[in-house]
Amino acid sequence: MSDLDRWLDGRLAEIDSAHLRRRLRTIETAQGPVIERDGRTMINFSSNDYLGLASDPRLRAAAAAAIERYGAGAGSARLLCGTQTPHEELEEALARFKRTEAALTFATGYAAALGTIPALAGPEDVIILDKLSHACLVDAARLSGATIRIFPHNHLEKLGRLLAWARENYAKANVIVVTESVFSMDGDRAPLREIVELKDRFGAWLMVDEAHGIGVIGEHGRGLAAELGVGDRVEIQMGTLGKALGASGGSICGSRALIEFLINRARSFIFSTAPVPSAAAAALEAIRLLDSGEAEPLRAKLWMNLERLNVDARSAIVPRMVGDESAALGLSEKLMENGLLVPAIRYPTVARGRARLRVSLSAAHSAEQIDRLLAALTFPERAP
């Protein structure tokens, strides 16, 4: 055994003792409300496929047609010869859908964050993040070298104080406020209208990750910024193609100047092979379904399913708080024994002692499947 392996075994033992070990488990079927995993049939409450589009025949057909015409891979980075017609059409559709001047797609949402934030901020600048911002946003802020400040989750008073501090101490800096619209582990929403007012007052820019809002919230699923009527005041709108849209990839929507700048300065875009054209074609079909209104029955079904849980859901994510990591893991395993796949979310995804089960609902779930979950797992009753 090498010195490296001895060191790694020691660290893995520490992870095991804290009940934080994670393992890959293969799903043997397509994404859907019922899956096969480890040879067992389970009802899937772990996916972010909120509208059930990942296996939708219309997206399958679009992807298959793109493979037939454009091949399996893009072959190169976008700035060399990797940009193909589906990439261009998808970005035009995203900009129309989000009502922005332009859009740019990335291989993943993580890559979108890692390319965008360091391109816009450097060591002389300030980034202010919500404490519960996704890891990709935190990592991107660290990579930028900017001064980072954190405000408690959705705490507007503290955000205001930090903006005032930034303007007093970094008068010429780019100041960027970063938040999610729907928070990925708690399922709650940012007070986005108030955040927009604050950033405008102090001359800051705002980056909003709409990963869990797109397809779910707002007119035709345009997201929380659109629902609140502040989309034109959010300078950087980040999104994903791999959750409610049923495909894969990430996106940034904003002004044409922003997109042109990212094409020239976002390293995760410049130095990555382009996403496969079939994924772009599938995402384009999902955008078409949403923008045309054809996906409205799916969105209505999703919210009806959330109503059936009898919780005050603000999104498709419903956490069931547990606290202790070992207890959360045990509860998840017990549910799996009953044919229900509900993941235990533990540190470092959430804070220590804040472990929970994360239930994700889909338009594809049936009433009977939700009733099986309710029979096995209690939720706090909705406040009157």
Distances in Å between the alpha carbon of 27 and those of 21, 37, 352, 359, 379? 19, 5, 29, 18, 27
The residue from 199, 212, 301, 365 that is catalytic is 212
Which residue in the block uniquely carries the two structure tokens 């959360």? 328
Gyration radius of the chain's alpha carbons: 21
48 is catalytic: yes
| Residues 208, 240 contacting (CB under 8 angstroms) | no
Judge whether 180 counts as a catalytic residue.
yes
Tell me which of 87, 98, 243, 365 is the catalytic residue. Answer: 243
Establish whether 243 is a catalytic residue: yes
Strands 175-180 and 205-209, sheet pairing: parallel
191: helix, strand or coil: coil
- Please, what is the angle between helix 109-120 and helix 256-265, to 10°? 100
Out of 46, 48, 154, 268, the active site residue is 48
Out of 47, 154, 181, 184, the active site residue is: 184
Query: Given 49, 125, 209, 227, which residue is catalytic?
Result: 209
CA dist., res. 275 & res. 73, Å (int):
8
| Residue 220 bears catalytic tag | no
For residue 360, give the H/E element and its range: strand 355-360
Give yes or no: 197 in active site.
no
Task: Give the 3-state secondary structure of 140-185.
Answer: HHHHHCCEEEEECCCCHHHHHHHHHHHHHHCCCCCEEEEEECECCC
184 is catalytic: yes
Distance CA 93, CA 87 (A): 10
Nearest to 209 by CA among 193, 225, 196: 225
> Catalytic: which of 180, 210, 227, 325?
180
Task: Indicate which residue of 134, 199, 220, 365 is catalytic.
Answer: 134
Q: 349 vs 21, 133, 137, 336, CA distance in Å? A: 12, 11, 13, 21
Q: Which residues are catalytic?
A: 48, 134, 180, 184, 209, 212, 243
